[in-house]
Structure 1
Amino acid sequence: MAIGDAAYIKKINRSLILSKIIEEEMISRADLSKITKLTRATISVQAADLLEEELIVESQQEHHSVGRKPIMLSINHKAGYALGIDLDYGQITFTLSDLMGKPVCSDNIEIQTSHYEEILTILITQIKRYEEKCSHSRFGIVGIVIGIHGIVTKDEVINFVPRLKWKNKDLKGDLEKEFNIKISIENNANLCSFAEKVFHRHQSENLISISMYSGIGLGMLINGELLKGYHGYAGEMGHMIIVPDGKPCNCGNLGCWELYASESSFFKQLAEKLQKQNLTYEEIQKLINAKDQVTCELMDQFIKYLSIGLNNIINLLNPETIVLNSELLKLYPEAGKKIEDSLTSSISHYHEILISELGKNACVMGACALAIKNFLEIPDVRFNVTEEQLPSHSKTVV
């Protein structure tokens, strides 16, 4: 046997055991042995190590049959916390979750600047507050993952953020100068697709998530793995041209998809048509309920352009599951059916189109889940979080 083989096998077994404890939420040693096909002796040794590290805890399960109550193992969800950050234009969302992916607290900070150094200072200040909040736990903050609405390289350098006009920013490196915490930078749409699989679509191996808020981002899980492309630039479908010689985009092209099918473009167009600024979702819901002609016509146009882009993506990727992340679509009756009816090509194949239940929480939830996955060093993670457990964000303006 080559040197290191025993340690490697032990690491694989540990990873498998942790994955199954998370998946089952509470499980006995005997059942762990059956599910993992590992011997009871191996399970006992690994469980003893994990108990000593305080990563898992024991409890007795109530039962009414005669005999000894089984000792159950579960993740010590308060042993550490993951911090997910959604860094968007005009706002930064922070969510802290326990080790079972359940949100503990969230904050939404509205920012009046796009300057890198000023936003870096805001991030450092907020992270220090969360670090202090978690200082009582065994591991503190186990990892920080930041979702970026732009291009992130495989080296986790921010290549370009169109709306912030950032180019080649090493946010990961700048934050690691301040904190002794594992920090990761990821495209926000990738985190959204990861969240959909982790929290809802556990069995879907070919899933795409389309985030439609300040722009359009596409996160792709192909055969269970994030598809990032040669340098990590894959998924920038918001800058797919759907109207030749159309509206000018910050990326330098004309007629990009996100200028016609993102929520920010819809809000801008409707505000101009109604001559009313700062429209809210609640106001748009009232206009739709009242069957306001201008609003409904613009919604139909929004769905038309959305469907054009979807048709291209479906023909390119042949996904099993398509998740549309849009609060706006939730407001419009039968939006899903209208979209499906617009996809008339006989060669377009997919299994289902859904509107995300995670909504604007998808990025931060995916970020927390990825931080936990990296900390525990497990290949797969599956969490169950109810709609009531999703974070509600307290707003701050800086």
Structure 2
Amino acid sequence: MAIGDAAYIKKINRSQIVQTIFKEEMISRADLSDITKLTKATISAQVASLLEDGLIVESQQEHNFVGRKPIMLSINDKAGFALGIDLDYGHISFALSDLKGQLVSTDTIETDTKNYSSVIQLLTDYIKKYELQSSESRYGLVGIVIAIHGLVNKDETIHFIPRLNWYDVDLKKDLQKSICVPIYIENNANVCSFAERVFVHHETDNLVSVTLYSGIGVGIMMNNTLFHGQNGFAGEAGHMIIVPNGIACSCGNKGCWEKYASESSIFQKLSQKMNKDNLTYKHIQKWIDEGDSNVQQLMEETIYYLSIGLNNLINIYNPEIVVLDSELLRMYPQSLLKIRENLTSSVSHYRDMVISTLGKKSSVLGACALAIKQFFDVPILNLSYSEEMSLK
């Protein structure tokens, strides 16, 4: 056997062991061997290496049986930290998590600039603050993932961010001029779908996540891997045409899905109908509670058009789980039931459709999880998210 082959096998074994420890949360060496089908000698050697590296820890578990207490292995969540950033027009959200994905610090800052250099400086200042906050851990800040509300090439350069009007910029390269931590750039919808799989839907390998806030973004997990398409632009389903010659869209087409089913389109239409500027979710919730006919009519229309697009996605990707991320759907009574009732095709197949429980945190959570995945070099993670432990 070539030396390179032996090193590759060791790398694969290590990845399998780490992934299993993440999944089980706490596990003995014997059970680790049973689950992975690796020999006890291999488990012993790999565990010793992971302990030496400070990536896992040992603990004794209480039990009521006769004999020695089993020594359990778990991920050392305090060995380092991951930083997730959601970069959007008007605000930037930061979240620092430990190596088990639990949030330990968050910030959201309001911005009033689209200037690329200004945003670079702002990001750099905040990243350095989080580097300092993480510096006492063994590995410090292990990785940074920035979620972009736009088109990201496969080489992680940014092709286009509509709301910032950025074309063909290399944010990763420009940040790395002053930041030494590994940086990854990913599309926001992809990061959200990764969060749904990693934190909530552990039982599925195939998932479609649809975010409905400023536009419509679709993240696709196929066989536990993000589906990017030829250039990295897969998932731009918000710009599929569902109404020929319909409402003009900034993309250049008419009748795009997001012009009929995104929250931004609902806010715009309601603002006109109700003759009210600066609408908030509280305003809409109040009108829903009061049974306002204008709001009800618009929400029913939105659900109808949303269902058309979902029918298309389900037929194209045949996902096991469809996750819808929308605050308005969470507010509107029986919205999920009404969507399901519209999906009447006998050829559309999916196991379940749910409204996201992560909500707007999914972007930064997914970004943190993706940084953890890259650090440990594992195919997929199973993490737990506790709202009580997160900082707001």
Q: CA deviation at 1:377?
A: 0.8
Secondary structure of residue in 1 paired with 2:3: coil
| RMSD of equivalent CA atoms | 1.3
> Which residue in 1 is equivalent to 2:86?
86
Distance of 1:309 and 1:259 partners within structure 2: 12
Contact kept in structure 1, 2:80 and 2:98, CA below 8 Å: yes
Residues 45-101 of structure 1 deviation map (CA, whole Å, 9 limit, x = unaligned):
211111111111111111232222111111110100011111112111111111011
Deviation per residue, 1:115-155 (Å, 9 max, x gap): 22221111111111111110111001100011111110100
**Structure 2: tracts of 5 or more residues without a match:** none
Contact 2:21 2:74 in 1 (8 A): yes
Residue matched to 1:369: 369
What is residue 124 of structure 1 aligned with on the other side? 124
CA contact (8 A) 1:307 1:343 kept: yes
1:242 Cα deviation from its structure 2 partner: 1.8
> Shift of residue 386 of structure 1?
2.8
What secondary structure, in the 3-state scheme, does the structure 2 residue paired with 1:340 have? helix
| Whole-angstrom distance in 2 between the partners of 1:211 and 1:104 | 25
Other-structure match for 1:395: none
User: Structure 1, unaligned stretches of length 5 or more?
Assistant: 393-398
SS in 2 for 1:378: coil
Partner AA of 1:304 in structure 2: Y
The 5 A counterparts of 1:294-333 are 294-333=294-333
User: Do residues 177 (structure 1) and 173 (structure 2) align?
Assistant: no
Give the CA deviation at 1:247.
2.3
Question: For residues 1-20 of structure 1, what are the structure 2 equivalents within 5 Å?
Answer: 1-20=1-20
TM-score, with structure 1 as normaliser: 0.95
Give the number of aligned pairs. 392
Secondary structure at 1:95 match in 2: strand
Q: Equivalents in 2 of 1:104, 1:160: separation in Å?
A: 32
% same residue: 60
Counterpart residue number, 2:219: 219
The residue number in structure 2 matching 1:340 is 340
Which amino acid in the other structure matches residue 339 of structure 2? I
Instruction: Please report how far the alpha carbon of residue 228 of structure 1 lies from its aligned counterpart in structure 2 after TM superposition.
Output: 1.0
Residue in 2 that maps onto 1:286: 286
TM-score, normalization by structure 2: 0.97
Report if the CA contact (8 A) 1:336-1:354 is conserved: yes
Q: Given residue 252 of structure 1, which amino acid in structure 2 is its aligned partner?
A: G
The residue aligned with 1:396 is none
The offset of 1:225, in angstroms, is: 1.9
Give the superposition deviation at 1:296: 1.1
Task: Give the 5 Å matches for 1:266-277.
Answer: 266-277=266-277
Q: Distance in 2 between matches of 1:62 and 1:349?
A: 45
C-alpha distance in 1 between matches for 2:346 and 2:43: 52
Q: Retained in 2: the 8 A contact 1:19–1:378?
A: yes
Letter in 2 for 1:251: C
Check whether the contact 2:104–2:390 (CA below 8 A) recurs between aligned residues: no
Q: Please give the alpha-carbon distance, in whole angstroms, between the structure 2 residues aligned to 1:85 and 1:351.
A: 32
